[in-house]
Amino acid sequence: MIRIISCIFLILTFFSAHCMFCDDFTPWELELFFDGVLNEQLSSHGIPGAVISVVKDGEKAFSKGYGYADRERKIKATPDSTLFRIGSVSKLFVWTSVMQLSEKGMLDIHEDVNRYLEDFQIPDKFNSCITLAHLMTHTPGFEEQELGVFVAGKDQIDPLGSYLKKYMPVQMRPAGLLSSYSNYGTALAAYIVERVSGLPFHEYVRQNIYRPLTMNNSSFLQPPEGFPDAVSRGYFLDKSRMIAGDFEWIQAYPAGSMSSTADDIAKFMIAHLNKGAYGDARILSEATVKDMHERHFAHDELVNGWTWGFMELNTQGYQILWHGGDTYLFHSAVYLFPELGLGIFVSYNCPAGAKARIDLLKAFMAKYLKSETVDKPEPVTPHGNASLLSGSYLDIRTNFSTPEKLMTLLNPVDIVMINDHTLLFGDNAWIETEPMVFRNSESMELLVFRKNEGGRYVMFRANNPTTAYIKLSALTTPAFQKAFIAICFMLFASAVLCWPLGLFRVSRRKAETSAFCVMAGSLMWLGCAISSYFIYSIYKIITEYGFSLGVPVEMNFLLKLSYIILFFALIVFLMLFAVWKKSCWTPILRYYYSLMAVFLILFTWWLVYWNLIFFHFPD
């Protein structure tokens, strides 16, 4: 009897693993699959806990918790009562709110956002207004700004309008031109929902989305009220040990503060897959959902783009609408397959979840969905363009106008030429299959290159519509900038150490040194000493956390110190001519002084380039 049952089980498992997604799969079969995947992920990556929910054809098909919500107290993660921080999956609730008000005629998504703002206005920098449609496709042209998104505690959270006014980013390009993911843009849209509806955004969502969907275990409040022990702790890896982190406070709260359960997110997925309806309730009309799920922006017809708020991930012949969610400690994702009536939500409570959520989707598709055969791409162009396209690129989702720009030094985007038709990007080889289009040698993903109006090459990655990459000139590459500042530091440090020794040797041979020469040498030495300290301090500040939790402690002091460096650089350079005229010291020391004078001036150029002089942060 046991052998017969085992055979039946093997046959069913084999069948389910070799068919396209089946309507007759069962919760126990899904549980068998996800138990294997998630338990392996928790074990191999040291992830404390995760939750998942799957919906199909208007019903919840499966949900479960894995591991711990609180490992120290041995509290299990559950899909119905454990709240996970879902990060930017929160944005889908902002865009759903915008579309609700648009449907009611209270918002025009193609109207200038300034029409809905009274206490501040978005500057019209390019004579083309920014609209809610631009915000929903992340194309308003804003620079990236981490400062102010997270804060260290509840007492530092400003009202939403105050935050938006205080931390307004610079618009770097005309709206609608390129996509650059924007937390600020999402928070701005939520504030417009507040202004139009007359309700705080978190209250609007509670009344118009949570309540009709019976999402009783969800909240934008920080921490969620009424759930004192239900919110999962977040964890991070510290020297091979998993440590529980503190609650993460998000000032731009509509962009990422929501806490929810897997079962609650299942209801939201059902409503979007069921044309706006959940049971007898409706949060959007069929026409609005159809519009919301259609493509409204893409960098190129060959790459995935944006619907109103969802990212496209069209792969293996399936349309997938998805959105990730990342805090520092939690990583989540929602994947919708509208044609299949299928939705998946997963959330992890440690940084390893960032990769694990993608691996889970790949494993699910490999098991349940018919996969396209990935043949090795072959170059079809007679003359490859790899030599034109290799080099360093700038991710446009960066800051340009504040010292946050320094963060670009941490993650250079380098593309290396292997041969005329092949580029190395990341860990993969990309082969040119048509002019300016390169395909991943291991998958169907594309890199598409185009020239912008200024004649510079721009790269679009097919599976990442959140940004574009612009090719840099040699002097602006991170490699050159880091090499330059390293040379400055070594030269300035050598002056601090060696200049007094040189003067000592001269003083032993010459009994007299003019007061001017003493002053010139002393000012040069002080300028180099202060500059060395400045460079060392900046090196300590540039970490992966950057400005995300506020202005680093030393930064405001360093910004004041930069004016002193400028003063010394100018004085030392102006004294250079008199130093030679008066024949101060020996010729070697005069050349050495000249070298320091020139590099102090060049260092001030470096300070200007990185916004480290003539800049102050908002109070």
Distance between CA 593 and CA 590 in Å, rounded?
Answer: 5
Q: How many CB atoms lie within 10 A of CB 279?
A: 13
Report yes or no on 183 lying in a domain: yes
Report yes or no on 423 lying in a domain: yes
Report yes or no on 269 lying in a domain: yes
Amino acid in position 356: A
**Which stretches within 305-383 are classed as H helix?**
353-368
Residue with tokens 């008000």: 101
CATH of the domain at 101: 3.40.710.10
Total domains in the chain come to 3
Tell me if 527 sits within 8 A of 562, measured CB to CB: no
Report yes or no on 8 lying in a domain: no
User: Measured between alpha carbons, how far is residue 116 from residues 119, 127, 191, 298, 352 in Å?
Assistant: 10, 18, 9, 27, 40
Q: Do 466 and 508 belong together in one domain?
A: no
Q: Do 415 and 485 belong together in one domain?
A: no
CA-atom Rg of the chain in angstroms? 29
Beta-bridge partners for 398? none
Beta-bridge partners for 83? 231
Distance between CA 442 and CA 426 in Å, rounded?
Answer: 13
Distance between CA 345 and CA 335 in Å, rounded?
Answer: 6
CB half-sphere exposure, 248, CA atoms < 13 A: 32
Tell me if 148 sits within 8 A of 404, measured CB to CB: no
Residues 6+ apart with CB under 8 A from 10: none
Question: Which domain covers residue 93, as residue numbers?
Answer: 63-77+79-333+351-368
Distance between CA 9 and CA 28 in Å, rounded?
Answer: 12
- Of 474, 470, 472, 425, give the one whose Cα is nearest residue 447: 425
Q: Do 310 and 193 belong together in one domain?
A: yes
**Domain boundary residue among 409, 438, 472?**
472
Predicted pLDDT of residue 22: 47
Taking the chain (619 residues) in consecutive chunks of 10 residues, what is each chunk's mean pLDDT?
A: 40 40 68 96 96 96 97 96 98 98 98 96 91 98 92 92 95 96 98 98 98 97 88 91 94 97 98 97 98 98 97 88 97 97 97 96 90 73 89 96 92 93 94 94 93 94 96 95 96 90 60 78 94 94 76 90 97 94 88 96 97 88
Q: Do 579 and 484 belong together in one domain?
A: yes
Structure tokens at 333: 């994702």
Report yes or no on 102 lying in a domain: yes
Cβ-in-10-Å burial (0-12, 13-18, 19+) of 114 comes to: middle
Predicted TM-score (pTM) of the model is 0.92
Concatenate the DSSP letters of all residues of 33-50 into one string: HHHHHHHHHHHHHT--EE
171 secondary structure, DSSP code:
B
Q: Do 465 and 517 belong together in one domain?
A: no
User: Measured between alpha carbons, how far is residue 331 from residues 39, 76, 85, 89, 344 in Å?
Assistant: 17, 18, 8, 10, 14
**Domain boundary residue among 447, 472, 497?**
472
Enclosing H/E stretch for 392: strand 391-395
Report yes or no on 152 lying in a domain: yes
Predicted pLDDT of residue 245: 94
